[in-house]
Structure 1
């Protein structure tokens, strides 16, 4: 029995997905903005797949008062290996596009979906860890809290807004580009 080959147009779509996946490494994936009366312009934590940017030092200085451990790239081991996983995924997408093998595409869609769910779980896990493991020796006592992965929250006199950024939207579009050809070719 002959293996079902993906169409050339599907191979092009999968190649576009590979490009978006690889390019997402150069853009932020997630962020959190902190706004308070003393910081009306806001303070930001911006998370790339391999680094943190934003007002990390100022936020760490403020978080010290509530007993939160400091944010740093060393605190998140995922930042050291995530770029390799994403890069490998982009390469495998190109291989699938070149081979035009439908079974490999289905397998990659499953891997992509599981990876996305694990990424969201990991982000939530870190938010729980940082918000609930507050030092008892902190100068300001607040109840433990868990910032949302997406949306608004109030912590003391700060309003926080968590959001997905360009890289996450690129990954979402790349996933959509993988689902689209499977739907299109379901009868082939």
Structure 2
């Protein structure tokens, strides 16, 4: 076997491993659990285990009892705010005079995932209400719903790329290569949508605006911070590894045909 074929398989396997551990497993096995919690239905043992494992070292809402942190069953019992299990891809935080640094050293943070949100989601929705903005759950409903199926399909594509040296599978590898760009494009679209679909029931009437996608900004009296989370850097790693796999595969196919 051509050396570049072997390299392409190694690069693709590493990308697949990161994708599976960071996103696919938690998204697939926790899918539907939040709906069950909301409807007072039982959450499966595997969903509970996955959530407890992936919630380690994540931000915990200030309203969450200390004894309930990182324990899904106790979180449910205490009616604490429960978010997605997968790794956060992007983070946004708001600072305002009525949120003192002593109580909120990070401001009011919210983290965006493939399948939902974590952080001070309720507080952020309350703040958004003041400027006539819809609650966050209104955005990306379709994306969140298809997330487990899309990730499983992507894993299958990468497995086929590793297993077979057919050129056709190389074309599909452009999907994992484009993951960071797809996320930013979708994220920016929904920011635009929220900022340009304000309602007149807000306490503050402001003109339609484009929220800050990356960096620091200001909305009314709030200072905003919008930056990548650990999940985004992992998406970049997946993209680069997939690109290396693609280039190695194309090189191998080209030189093997000479």
- State the TM-score, normalized to the length of structure 2: 0.64
SS at match of 1:148: coil
Counterpart of 2:45 in structure 1 is: none
8 Å CA contact 1:33–1:43 kept in 2: the answer is yes
Counterpart of 2:26 in structure 1 is: none
Normalized per residue, which structure has more strand? 1
CA distance in 2, matches of 1:6, 1:90: 21
Runs of 5+ consecutive residues of structure 1 not aligned to the other structure: none
Offset from partner CA, 1:69-113 (integer Å, 9 cap, x none): 1122x54211111232122212221221121x2624531232234
Mapped pair 1:152 → 2:150: no
8 Å CA contact 2:7–2:248 kept in 1: the answer is no
CA distance in 2, matches of 1:83, 1:116: 17
Mapped pair 1:103 → 2:101: no
Q: CA deviation at 1:64?
A: 1.3
CA distance in 1, matches of 2:217, 2:173: 33
- RMSD between aligned residues: 2.4
Runs (4+) off by over 4 Å: 113-116
Output aligned runs, 1:129-168, within 5 Å.
129-168=193-232
Identify if the C-alpha distance between structure 1 residues 184 and 110 changes in structure 2 by more than 3 Å, giving closer, same or farther.
closer
Counterpart of 2:243 in structure 1 is: 179
Q: CA deviation at 1:115?
A: 5.1
Runs of 5+ consecutive residues of structure 2 not aligned to the other structure: 24-85
Counterpart of 1:37 in structure 2 is: 97
Identify if the C-alpha distance between structure 1 residues 21 and 80 changes in structure 2 by more than 3 Å, giving closer, same or farther.
same
CA distance in 2, matches of 1:12, 1:113: 15
- State the TM-score, normalized to the length of structure 1: 0.85
CA distance in 2, matches of 1:106, 1:128: 34
CA distance in 2, matches of 1:163, 1:87: 27
Number of aligned pairs?
Answer: 184
SS at match of 1:92: helix
State which of 2, 10, 22 in structure 1 corresponds to 2:8: 10
Counterpart of 2:130 in structure 1 is: 65
Q: CA deviation at 1:57?
A: 0.9
CA distance in 2, matches of 1:103, 1:27: 32
Q: CA deviation at 1:58?
A: 0.9
